[in-house]
A and B are shown apart, each in its own frame.
Chain A
Amino acid sequence: MRTITITPLKAFEISVEAEIISPDKFAPLSLSQIRSLSIWQGNRKRKLSDLFRAEGDDGPAKVEDVTITLQGDFSRAKRIAEGMTAGKVEAEGGVGMHAGNNMKGGLLSVQKDAEDWLGREMRGGKITVRGNAGNYLGAGYRGEKCGMRGGEIEVGGNAGAYLGEHLCGGSIRVHGDAGDFPGAANQGGTIFIGGSTYLPGAEMTKGTITVRGRARVLPSYQKMEIMSIEGEDFQKYVGDLVEKGTGELFVRVGSS
């Protein structure tokens, strides 16, 4: 095992493009090489050590043996763990926008909140968030036809709007409430929302959305039978008929 701890030297006013903070990038490098990696802040190119302290185990290691611990406030550090394939990134606080985007394997765990676009276009691996997640959790970025395609995201708190937009696979579990339009244009992923939400599954063609709290359902969904899931009754709907969809939406009975 190789553990590397990264700490911001001060609060960032201008956000940092932190895609190099990833086990894949750090694994083959020594600590001093990591410190001299270049990193963009706004339109300025800087060295990692200009902005962060990097401590921990030296020397190269296999990607799967690398754990990166993030101490302090990373809410303005974007794209942490972008495209990571293995290993762990453990944030003791929150993380900035686009964390875990395009992730293919490994674990990203966040103790506080994650900003918008967490795990967008993710393909594999796991992301856990103790606090809340922002908008577009697991979604596809602007113009993209496919959001998350595989892997797992679990959020302990609430999620923002457009959760899992253009989802093509994988599963997202939010224990709290979700904002408007979760699972919009879902093409085959699975979403579970523990709390309430508004207009789930607009333009969904395939996949499953389960809402345990209240949900306003679109008129383009067909009401089906009542089903029992883990001992609770859920109203099943099929849609979105606007897209000739066969997606399944379950909303707990009695919660509306």
Chain B
Amino acid sequence: MIIKGGIVYDPANGIFGEEMDLCVDEGRMAEDGKGEVIDARGLLVMPGGVDAHSHIAGTKVNTGRIMRPDDARLGIEPRSGVCRPCTGYTVPNCYAIGYRYARMGYTTAFEAATPIIEARHTHEELEEIPILDKGALTLFGTNWEVMECVRDKDIGKLAAYVAWGLRSARGYGVKIVNPGGGEAWGFGSNVKGPNDPVPNFDVTGAEIICGLAQANEMLRLPHSIHLHFNNLGKPGNYTTALETLELLKDIKPSRMRQVVHVAHMQFSAYGGTSWRDFESKAPVIADYFNSHNHATMDLGQLLFGSATTMTADAPLEYGNARLTHNKWSNHDIELEESSGVVPMVYFRKMLVNAVQWAIGLELALLTRDPWKVLMTTDHPNGSPFINYPEVITLLMSKPKRDAEMATLHEQLPKRTSLGGIERELDWTEIAIMTRAAPARILGLEDKGHFGPGADADISIYDLRPEEVDPSRDHALVKKALAAAKYTIKSGIVVSQKGQILAAPPGRTLR
């Protein structure tokens, strides 16, 4: 296959919008190719999208589906062509996940939290998601064995346990959620910060995080620890974030990458002492990332409308359920982890939601190095992944942000710095935040770039980067990003103009 004349963005290889041909041979990028020719003259060409943090498979995802037949109705697509029937909006069925990512030009997605004991369920579902290459991060933050090794300061044994856990659960990397909190939740309480002792274990969250980070580097794992902070989703929690990041700054990475990846930073960049004086602390957090190199983040951008919150942070979900008076599932409590699910609607007119919306955008725009920031919505916590084009266009267009802010709560400008931010991301930065950086942060050497031998995962959009001004033409850009002109997965055209043409199974990376 030869893709002719596209305007190629391949930031990992120093290509920033150059007109060039791409060649594919046997599912990989090659020096030359033959056979099918795809005319991409003047069009935007990027590597296939990589989502490093999404909730697409496993017990809590499925619990979300079971709890929300109302959501199933919002995304019904009958069987057609190669596509099996689809349901759901915030909690789509397995098929819909594959097709909808592929339509947007995404070819890889990672499930961000799987308890070891529920791993079989996760993999059953991952196998049913068509097209995408997938992986699952395994939860270690409150495992008894982990806490015992940490208490005994036996990092070698801890590394052996982590290796066993990853192999047994076919996991890709180490996920830590509210360390210590899951254990406390088994007794109806929570930890208030990384220095709180975990009930019945003589350890703290801080010790668990540092121990797992050291074990992670001892094992030279491709990905760093992937951390969901304590106190997530609570006013004033930015101090917890900074305090926790400080713990990790002296750990040496075993590879050319971060020491810690922070999950959905938006939910941990909150100021104020309560929801009444709630405000953004995104500038402080962004400053920290600008002056330190050991951490990366994904946004967990929140958008207005329907979402389903689901996390291994079960006490957080209890709080959500109390706050919203909505349906609540308390899950996995019999395991060494815990989890919860609560449906959610984010309202434009609600100041708290508007501030949360602004925080995600601030984080992306104030952090100078796009290699440190991944564009995510923490699907489906902040918004379903189907709304990524909305997030990207907000990041690329100041006029769009201004128009949006004008419809929001009048107090908003006092609670966030977003209105004063002029920066508009360009295609290179978007290609980094949605392709190159997630691949590098996860340690996926064959993803997110077009170097010879890389997986031939390619997205081509019906957009002419040399003619279109995303700042002004944001509506056009959003439409084009929602349905790639071509999505190519391992050298096969899987989607064309939003229509799925082929649904190969995809691999599970581990």
Contacts and interface: CB of A to CB of B under 8 A. Distances in A.
A141 B70 CA distance: 7
Contacts of A10: none
Contacts of A145: 70, 326
A144 B306 CA distance: 13
Interface string B49-84: 000000000000000000111111100000000000
B232 to A, nearest CB: 25
A143 interface: yes
Interface residues of A, number: 6
Interface string A36-58: 00000000000000000000000
Interface in A71-106: none
Nearest to B68: A143
Interface string A130-158: 00000000001111110000000000000
Categorize the interface residue count of chain B: under 10
A144 B71 CA distance: 8
A145 B343 CA distance: 11
A145 B344 CA distance: 11
Nearest to B66: A143
A90 B67 CA distance: 37
Nearest to B79: A43
Nearest to A205: B325
Interface residues of chain B: helix, strand, loop or mixed (majority) = helix
Contacts of A140: 70
A33 B267 CA distance: 53
Interface string A111-146: 000000000000000000000000000001111110
B257 to A, nearest CB: 42
A143 B68 CA distance: 6
Interface residues of chain A: helix, strand, loop or mixed (majority) = loop
B87 to A, nearest CB: 12
Contacts of A141: 69-70, 73
A169 B158 CA distance: 58
Contacts of B67: 143
A40 to B, nearest CB: 9
Nearest to B70: A143
B73 to A, nearest CB: 7
Contacts of A144: 70
Interface string B77-113: 0000000000000000000000000000000000000
A241 to B, nearest CB: 16
A78 B238 CA distance: 53
Nearest to A146: B70
A142 B72 CA distance: 10
A142 B67 CA distance: 10
Of A141, A143, A145, most buried by chain B (CB within 10 Å of CB) is A143
B71 to A, nearest CB: 7
Nearest to B326: A145
A243 B321 CA distance: 14
B145 to A, nearest CB: 38
B199 to A, nearest CB: 32
Nearest to A243: B325
A31 to B, nearest CB: 27
A141 B74 CA distance: 12
Nearest to B73: A141
Interface in B26-70: 67-70
A140 B68 CA distance: 13
Contacts of A142: 69-70
Interface in B325-384: 326
A145 B345 CA distance: 12
Interface in B194-249: none
Contacts of B71: 143
B142 to A, nearest CB: 31
B334 to A, nearest CB: 25
A165 to B, nearest CB: 13
A44 B6 CA distance: 43
A141 B69 CA distance: 9
A89 to B, nearest CB: 23
A137 to B, nearest CB: 19
Contacts of B73: 141
Of B67, B68, B70, B73, most buried by chain A (CB within 10 Å of CB) is B70
A142 B74 CA distance: 12
Nearest to A144: B70
A113 B230 CA distance: 57
A145 B68 CA distance: 10
A141 B71 CA distance: 11
A34 to B, nearest CB: 22
Contacts of B70: 140-145
B365 to A, nearest CB: 35
15 contacts: A140-B70, A141-B69, A141-B70, A141-B73, A142-B69, A142-B70, A143-B67, A143-B68, A143-B69, A143-B70, A143-B71, A143-B72, A144-B70, A145-B70, A145-B326
Given A143-B67, A143-B70, A145-B70, 12 more contacts: A140-B70, A141-B69, A141-B70, A141-B73, A142-B69, A142-B70, A143-B68, A143-B69, A143-B71, A143-B72, A144-B70, A145-B326
Interface of B: 67-73, 326
Interface of A: 140-145
List the 6 shortest-distance A-B pairs measured between CB atoms, nearest first.
Answer: A143-B70, A143-B69, A142-B69, A144-B70, A143-B68, A142-B70
